[in-house]
């Protein structure tokens, strides 16, 4: 498999990390062991994204719906997140990778919030590479929060009533507040073919790739293969193929 060519790299790749539990079940292991292996894959994929030249990578780490899982699994996931943040800080600093978050992180356990704030503060000045963790995130929740904040801005006179646009409204989404560009490519692992309340508005023009590979088995070669497939796609943004070739008339 050929590596992606220079100049053909998506700026922003978003990933739904699916299949940890099924990976563990197939091997007769506890679900949490699948999540532990998934944490190891995060480092592999973040390092691979940087080597390939992907500037932003967003990982769907914990959704607003994930609170419904068994309490012991939720507690285990929060413990793994705390462990990941403590372990990865030096690696992020070494590679000059900035950490950002999207979601209602203020509802996470206090120890996790402290670690998130510590890592974000330590990496805030890095701009070349960015890792975004979607934590306690849901696209519908994001839209509800953005609508509330946008309405408050209109009431305060910071936005003009009756002159709404995507450009103005999108600034109030979590991604807009953090100045994160829209994804060029979405990857979902483990064979499911849905976006599960993830970046629904931001993915409007993203290419989507669904792979049967479970997240713990996903590696650099799989990320490269997805980028190669991305470059086979023709992204028209409402134009025709002829317009893309000759330029809009």
Catalytic residue numbers read 18, 66
Report how far Cα 71 is from the mean position of its chain's Cα atoms.
Answer: 24
Known binding residue 69? Answer is: yes
Known binding residue 31? Answer is: yes
Give the bridge partners for 59, in sequence order: 15, 133
Quick check: 186 and 203 in contact, CB under 8 A? yes
Known binding residue 19? Answer is: yes
Known binding residue 182? Answer is: no
Known binding residue 190? Answer is: no
Known binding residue 65? Answer is: yes
Known binding residue 67? Answer is: yes
User: What 8-state DSSP symbol labels residue 215?
Assistant: G
Contacts of 15 (CB under 8 A, 6+ apart): 45, 57, 58, 59, 60, 186, 187, 188, 189
Known binding residue 20? Answer is: yes
Quick check: 96 and 126 in contact, CB under 8 A? yes
Known binding residue 234? Answer is: no
Known binding residue 88? Answer is: no
Give the bridge partners for 12, in sequence order: 56
Rounded to a whole number of angstroms, the distance between the first and last alpha carbons of the chain is 38
**CA atoms of 200 and 217, how far apart (whole Å):** 26
Binding residues for substrate: 19-23, 31, 35, 63-65, 67, 69, 188, 194-196
Binding residues for Mg(2+): 18, 207
Binding residues: 18-23, 31, 35, 63-65, 67, 69, 188, 194-196, 207
């Amino acid at each position: 498999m050929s590596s992606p060519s220079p100049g053909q790299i998506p700026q922003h790749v978003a990933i739904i990390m699916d299949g940890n539990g099924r990976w563990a079940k197939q091997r007769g292991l506890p679900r949490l062991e699948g999540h532990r292996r998934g944490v190891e894959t995060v480092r592999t994929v973040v390092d691979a994204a940087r080597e390939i030249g992907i500037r932003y990578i967003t990982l769907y780490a914990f959704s607003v719906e994930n609170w419904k899982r068994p309490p012991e699994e939720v507690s285990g996931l929060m413990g793994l997140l705390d462990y990941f943040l403590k372990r990865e800080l030096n690696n992020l600093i070494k590679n000059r990778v900035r950490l950002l978050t999207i979601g209602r992180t203020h509802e996470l356990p206090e120890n996790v919030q402290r670690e998130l704030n510590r890592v974000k503060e330590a990496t805030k000045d890095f701009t070349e590479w960015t890792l975004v963790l979607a934590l306690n995130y849901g696209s519908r929740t994001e839209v509800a929060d953005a609508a509330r904040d946008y309405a408050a801005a209109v009431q305060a006179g910071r936005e003009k009533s009756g002159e709404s646009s995507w450009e103005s409204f999108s600034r109030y989404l979590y991604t807009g507040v953090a100045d994160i560009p829209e994804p060029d490519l979405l990857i979902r692992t483990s064979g499911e073919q849905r976006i599960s309340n993830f970046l629904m508005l931001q993915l409007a023009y993203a290419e989507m790739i669904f792979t049967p590979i479970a997240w713990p088995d996903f590696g650099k070669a799989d990320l490269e293969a997805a980028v190669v497939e991305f470059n086979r796609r023709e992204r028209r943004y409402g134009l025709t193929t002829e317009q893309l070739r000759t330029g809009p008339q």
